[in-house]
């Protein structure tokens, strides 16, 4: 939270996620959360930036959005599968940020953005920390 507070003056922090909320999320999605995201959720269950931007979603939204993207029949008609992404934030324009999943595991710390207009998935940051830093300083390009 300290890093976010330094970078994002208007950040609003939620109460920490409970151990059971995090465990339920991991069970529902069938994946262990990356350490950086899990640690952040243990400090604050979601962070909102300026204008209510979802810098980091709460456990409920992470679960709902990921399950919706993976199971919606509407999405299957228009987009590649989403089961290789763990969405955790949005850009406020329909694009969403995610960790990559390979063989049901998050193997590295890289952050990707999914473009809702053309269904592209592009690398944007080497870690959650850099995603937050680059987003606050304008270095994150989407």
User: How far is the C-alpha of 40 from the C-alpha of 116, rounded, in Å?
Assistant: 26
142 part of a folded domain: no
77 part of a folded domain: yes
39 part of a folded domain: yes
CA-based Rg of the chain, rounded to a whole angstrom? 14
Mean pLDDT by 10 residues, the chain (142 residues): 54 90 97 95 87 84 96 89 95 94 90 96 96 85 80
Domain that holds residue 9: 2-137
Model pTM score = 0.90
Cβ–Cβ under 8 Å, residues 102 and 115? no
17 part of a folded domain: yes
| CATH number (domain holding residue 85) | 3.40.1580.10
Q: Domain tally for the chain?
A: 1
């Amino acid at each position: 939270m300290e890093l976010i507070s330094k970078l994002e003056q208007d950040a609003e922090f939620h109460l920490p996620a409970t151990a059971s909320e995090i465990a339920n999320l991991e069970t529902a999605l069938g994946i262990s959360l990356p350490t950086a995201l899990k640690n952040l959720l243990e400090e604050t269950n979601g962070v909102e930036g300026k204008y209510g931007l979802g810098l980091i979603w709460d456990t409920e939204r992470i679960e709902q959005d990921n399950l919706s993207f993976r199971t919606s029949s509407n999405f299957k008609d228009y987009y590649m599968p989403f089961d290789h992404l763990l969405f955790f934030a949005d850009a406020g324009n329909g694009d969403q940020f995610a960790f990559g999943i390979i063989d049901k595991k998050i193997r590295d710390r890289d952050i990707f953005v999914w473009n809702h207009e053309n269904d592209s998935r592009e690398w944007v940051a080497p870690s959650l920390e850099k995603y937050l830093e680059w987003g606050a300083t304008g270095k994150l390009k989407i």
